[in-house]
Amino acid sequence: MPKEGFKTAKQKNDCIEAIIQELVNRNVFLILGHTNPDEDCVAAMIAFSLLAKKFDKQVKIFTSKKIPENFKYLVDIAVYNRIDVVTAIPRSFAVDTIVICDTAKPGMVDANRKVMQMLKNSTIRKIEIDHHIGADSDYIGNPGYCLVTEASSASELVGQIALKLRAKKDILKKYVILDPLSRNLVLAILTGIIGDSQMGRYLKSSREKRMYKIFSTLFNDILSTTTIKETNITNMNQIFDQLKQASEKEKHCFQYIKKKSKIYKSVGYAILSGEDMQYLYQNFDDDDIISTTRNLADMLAEVSGKVGLVSYYDIPEKSDLIQFRMRRSQNYKSYDLRDFLKKMNIHNGGGHEGAIGFRVPKDLVDDYPKYVMSIVKKVNTLLP
């Protein structure tokens, strides 16, 4: 039947809650859009993928054709966050959730024969995120999982999910998510909002204009306070340009810490010294460093096949702690990383079975590299 907006705020909130629970409970996500995707479609697919990766899920974006070159910075963000953009679905990719973004009706879905079979599979959850409503539209997702309503863009709707998630402190703590609205996620959302509305010029209803103002103001505030150091940012175009530069900068940060990578049997690890951290903090901001250490731990887990560990020696201006990020490979399920915290009697830390973070006071460690290697070897002996 033709798509229509939610009749009550409760219906919309219940739908967002249901989608958040699927982000928690499901494991393997395939993200789809429409044929010949525009800015909002590409941005929404990547924004939702980034949300799913924060929960350590396996994520692939399917597109039958190469994504246009002018969206390369978004594709780079996806690849950097270990999100594959593919034109064929590997047989080993056991999809349990499909997310369809910015697509008005089933006939417009960008899909090959295998993807169409998946869409017909009743055991696979179908989530839909779209702002097209009216006569020439039709639902694709499962009832209760269609976030379909008036909005400036599909990307804005992904932003609304992230905002709801931001208030769920118990979930954020479990998955070691500092803030769901990270810079790259905001960049993707902002791309869709700006692209689909042409900076707000094409909005029709007073509600769309109001929501556009709310979100553009909100994202302006987030970006100007967390990632932009200059104080003379006066419009969204400038913030948008700054964001793209910041994302490019983040890649350079990743390349620096990647050089520190080593493998010990089943554990990939990287040790960042005090001198390394002085260099990093002189050239990059907190958001760069936090996100790159997490991404490197992810990469090392996949390279080693079991576990990745990144340790960094905080500079005195930041803390008197040694920080650790530990991740488990997507294909290795035999060890709950939380058991390591119990075994080592570490109380300043937490996470879930596939990813943990913990901290150790510097004054308890005489030889930092030797201490980290002792942890690496201990982890290796504990792995089944």
pLDDT computed for residue 201 by the predictor: 58
Coil, strand or helix: which one is 310? strand
- Architecture per CATH, domain 250-382, reads as Roll (3.10)
- Residues 357 and 59: their CA atoms lie apart, in Å, by 22
Domain ranges of the chain: 9-221, 250-382
- Residues 146 and 244: their CA atoms lie apart, in Å, by 31
Contact call for residues 374 and 326 (beta carbons, < 8 A):
no
Per-residue pLDDT tens, the chain, 384 aa: give them. 788 889 999 999 999 999 999 999 999 999 999 998 988 999 999 999 999 999 989 899 999 988 877 777 788 888 888 899 999 998 888 999 999 999 999 999 999 999 999 999 999 999 999 998 887 889 999 999 999 998 888 998 999 999 999 999 999 988 888 889 887 888 888 888 877 665 555 566 666 676 667 766 766 676 666 554 443 444 556 555 655 565 667 778 888 999 999 999 999 999 999 999 999 988 887 767 877 888 899 899 999 999 999 999 888 888 899 999 999 998 888 899 999 999 998 888 888 888 888 999 999 999 999 999 999 999 999 998
Contact call for residues 380 and 264 (beta carbons, < 8 A):
yes
Residues whose CB is less than 8 angstroms from the CB of residue 256 and which lie 6 or more positions away in sequence, other chains included: 279, 280
Q: Nearest to residue 49, comparing CAs of 36, 65, 60?
A: 60
- Residues 313 and 36: their CA atoms lie apart, in Å, by 46
Query: Judging by DSSP bridges, how do beta strands 321-328 and 355-361 pair with one another?
Result: antiparallel
- Residues 175 and 148: their CA atoms lie apart, in Å, by 27
Instruction: Put the strands of the sheet holding 261-264 in their side by side order.
Output: 261-264, 267-272, 307-313, 321-328, 355-361, 349-352
CB atoms within 10 A of CB 93: 13
Q: Nearest to residue 353, comparing CAs of 333, 331, 383?
A: 333
Residue type, 176: V
Q: Note if the pTM is more than 0.85.
A: no
- Domain 9-221: which CATH class? alpha beta
Instruction: Put the strands of the sheet holding 28-32 in their side by side order.
Output: 84-86, 58-62, 28-32, 97-101, 125-130, 146-148
Q: Do domains 9-221 and 250-382 have the same CATH topology?
A: no
